[in-house]
């Protein structure tokens, strides 16, 4: 699938690329929140998602009502949400972040108290890099694919490849983060593995990234867990892409009012990130 794409990247890279390409129709082979983000940033373009069932379970952990309640409970807090949220939640945020910039975004906010969601593991990563008080909403938000990568998986992988550097995603559980040599977003992993002196790496993230790492970097890459597969991301097929292009549907659309508020929160992050 990655081989037929015009652009391969993480959610933010894809949304940015979507703004830059000269095409009226975009086919987004990611999960729902990514396609929504592309549509929010490119309201004049038609965004298609080949399989509407490609829903990110992490994004659905946080609904607007839960977030509204947290805001009422902590009126002095600002809200920073991971880009892996649905548009309705984004519309209630002060700023969006990605796994590549979450600590920097949180530290750039003016409040000392930050409502952060929906990933409790990313919240752990941020809290270790911030003096601010982080209130995690909801309490149990996580990515099932990353959360299942265990310390036992890591120990077994290290035993198989003792000379490999361990690079994991901040959506992994705290114990795995603590035993990693480097923690980074997917784009951060690519950069780090290119620049590192090491020739072999154990990668703790969704295994689809290994294809890109192996293609772009002439080094050795092994998954920490070969079971780290996100079924939602694998729902799109070549046939579904063809059908979406022929029929120009299913179209991803976000109501104007929600899109406008969500866009403000995303654009605030983009300004901070310059």
Residues engaged in binding ligand SF4 (CB under 6 A): 31, 56-58, 84, 143-146, 206, 230, 232-233
Q: Which is nearer to ligand SF4, 35 or 79 (CB)?
A: 35
Q: Which is nearer to ligand SF4, 146 or 268 (CB)?
A: 146
- Helix (H) / strand (E) containing 166: strand 165-168
Q: Which is nearer to ligand SF4, 16 or 74 (CB)?
A: 16
Q: Which is nearer to ligand SF4, 56 or 269 (CB)?
A: 56
Size of the chain in residues? 274
- Angstrom distance (rounded) from CA 181 to CA 117: 25
The answer to whether residues 193 and 213 touch, using CB atoms and an 8 Å cutoff, is yes
- Angstrom distance (rounded) from CA 103 to CA 108: 9
Minimum distance of ligand SF4 from residue 3's CB (angstroms) = 20
- Looking up tokens 């003016």, which residue turns up? 110
Distances, alpha carbon 155 to alpha carbons 41, 144, 148, in Å: 42, 20, 14
Q: Which is nearer to ligand SF4, 77 or 168 (CB)?
A: 168
Q: Which is nearer to ligand SF4, 165 or 206 (CB)?
A: 206
Q: Detail the DSSP E strand segments found in 83-121.
A: 95-97, 113-117
Minimum distance of ligand SF4 from residue 67's CB (angstroms) = 18
Minimum distance of ligand SF4 from residue 45's CB (angstroms) = 22
Q: Write down the H helix ranges in 97-184.
A: 102-108, 120-127, 144-147, 151-160, 174-178
Minimum distance of ligand SF4 from residue 190's CB (angstroms) = 16
CB within 8 A of 193, min separation 6: which ones?
Answer: 167, 201, 213, 217, 219, 221
The answer to whether residues 165 and 201 touch, using CB atoms and an 8 Å cutoff, is yes
Q: Which is nearer to ligand SF4, 26 or 56 (CB)?
A: 56
């Amino acid at each position: 699938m990655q081989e037929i794409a015009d652009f391969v990247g993480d959610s933010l890279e894809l949304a940015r690329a979507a703004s830059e390409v000269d095409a009226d129709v975009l086919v987004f082979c990611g999960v729902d929140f990514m396609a929504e983000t592309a549509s929010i940033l490119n309201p004049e373009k038609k965004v298609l998602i080949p399989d509407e069932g490609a829903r990110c379970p992490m994004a659905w952990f946080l609904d607007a009502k839960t977030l509204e309640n947290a805001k009422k409970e902590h009126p002095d807090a600002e809200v920073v949400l991971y880009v892996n949220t649905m548009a309705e939640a984004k519309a209630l945020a002060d700023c969006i972040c990605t796994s590549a910039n979450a600590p920097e975004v949180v530290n750039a906010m003016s409040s000392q108290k930050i409502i952060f969601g929906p990933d409790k593991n990313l919240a752990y990563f941020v809290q270790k890099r911030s003096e601010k008080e982080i209130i995690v909403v909801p309490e149990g938000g996580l990515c099932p694919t990353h959360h299942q990568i265990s310390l036992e998986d890591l120990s077994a992988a290290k035993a198989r490849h003792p000379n490999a550097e361990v690079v994991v995603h901040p959506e992994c559980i705290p114990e795995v983060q603590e035993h990693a040599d480097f923690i980074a977003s997917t784009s951060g992993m690519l950069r780090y593995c290119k620049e590192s002196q090491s020739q072999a790496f154990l990668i703790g993230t969704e295994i689809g990234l290994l294809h890109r790492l192996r293609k772009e970097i002439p080094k050795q890459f092994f998954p920490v867990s070969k079971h780290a597969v996100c079924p939602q991301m694998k729902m799109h097929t070549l046939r579904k892409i063809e059908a979406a292009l022929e029929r120009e549907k299913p179209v991803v659309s976000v109501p104007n009012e929600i899109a406008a508020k969500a866009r403000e929160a995303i654009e605030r992050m983009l300004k901070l990130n310059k």
